[in-house]
Amino acid sequence: MKILVGYDGSGAAQDAMNTAKKYAAALDAEVDIVTSMVRGTEGEQEEITQAERGLDYAKSLFAAENIACETHLLIRGLAPGEDLVRFAKENDVDLMVVGVKRRSKVGKLLMGSTAQFVIIKAPCPVLSIK
C-alpha cells in the first residue's frame, strides 16, 4: 500500500503526517511526503531550501519509527492541489492524507483550497485531517 501526505510545514500538515504515520504502521505501507511549489527560480531559493529542510525533518520522523518513506519536492508550475493529484495518479497512490486549514467561506472563495481540490479530484480515497 502507498500513502501520500501533502506537506507544507503547517500545523494542519503536521497533523496529517502524524495520522499517516499511524496508518502506515498499521497497514505496513510506504509513505510519500510531497511538497509542491509553483515556481523554483533563483529568487525563491530560500523557500526551496526551507521546503527541503521541512521534508528532511518529516522523513526523520518516519525513519525513527522504521516506516518506509520517500520525500518529493515538486516544482512543476502547477498549483499544489493539481500537483498532488497528478503525483498520486503517476505513482499509483492508494490513500492521500491532507491537512485542512480552517478558513472562512470567503477565504476559500478568494484563495481556493488545496484540500478541497484534492478531495474532489483525487484518483484514490482522501483522508482529511483538521
Task: Write the pLDDT tens digit of every residue in 77-94.
Answer: 899 999 999 999 999 999
How remote is the C-alpha of 120 from its chain's centroid? 16
Range of the domain at 103: 2-129
Q: State the first-to-last Cα distance of the chain, in angstroms, to the nearest integer.
A: 23
Bridge partners of 67?
none
Number of domains within the chain? 1
For residue 89, the one-letter residue type is K
pTM of the model: 0.88
Residues 105, 122: Cα–Cα separation, whole Å: 22
Residues 5, 11: Cα–Cα separation, whole Å: 13
List the grid coordinates of 30. Answer: 510506504
- Give me the pLDDT at residue 111, please: 43
> CATH code at 103?
3.40.50.620
